[in-house]
Amino acid sequence: MKLKKVAAICDKTGLFHLYDQVDGTGTFERQWLGDGYAAYPIDGMPYLDPDNLCAMFDITEKRKEKLSFRQTNVSGNINWEDADPSEHYLEDPKLCLRYGGRTILPLRTRDGVTFIQDKYLAPLDNLDYMHLYERRAKDGGVYIVAKIGMVVQAVIMPMDVVCMDLIDRMEGLTSLCRTALMKKERVYTTEERARPNENQGTLFREGTDSGEGAGV
């Protein structure tokens, strides 16, 4: 876990929220740190409170005055444990959208589609081995957990970003892509059209015999 990236997320949001996870007897188990929209386990660290949190991340008194700090027990509405019998594996997102100043990932859930912010995956190590899962809160809401192996590395709340503006823009992009595919059909074989061509033109003409490097 890249704790400095967790701190950067919290700093940008303006909220450092410490969550104390306790068992049914009230015994402390672990701590989580987040910005109110996502939280990450901070294992292997001394017990943190707002004061030593500021010391650990070199937050000055002047900067501290502009931030909010909270410390609560974890919400009983969601499951913070590594195992949840009701969780549902999600396919890795194939698209990444930039909308409203945010980079968002569409996830296909059992209810349709939901979105999370890409930045909330940045603190995680070993992203090649990360998988996302959909879980259902006690109040019926959906939330996302990121796991590496069988261990939860992040709890992430989805964004309610769907609106007509987003739909119109995506439909417009789809229309342009269909037009581009129609042009492609005049040149390429069926097999070539079925897969993306990731070759990118360069700004320079190298004059190679192969014909590659054609510029703009």
Q: What is the pLDDT of residues 133-180, one digit of tens each?
A: 999 999 999 999 999 989 999 999 999 988 899 999 989 999 998 998
The pLDDT, as a whole number, for residue 210 is 46
* pLDDT for the residue numbered 215: 46
Q: What is the pLDDT of residue 199?
A: 67
Q: Looking at the whole model, is its pTM more than 0.75?
A: yes
Tell me, what's the pLDDT at 53?
A: 93
What one-character-per-residue DSSP string does the chain give? --HHHHHHHHHHHTEEEEEEEE-TTS-EEEEEEESSSEEEE-TTS----HHHHHHHTT--HHHHTTSEEEEEEPPTTS--SS--TT-EEEPPP---EEETTEEEEEEEETTEEEEEEGGGGTT-S-GGGEEEEEEE-TTS-EEEEEEETTEEEEEEPPB----HHHHHHHHHHHHHHHHHHHHHHTTS-HHHHTS-------SS----TT------
The low-confidence residues of the chain, meaning pLDDT below 50, are 208-216
What's the confidence (pLDDT) of residue 203? 67
pLDDT at site 213: 45
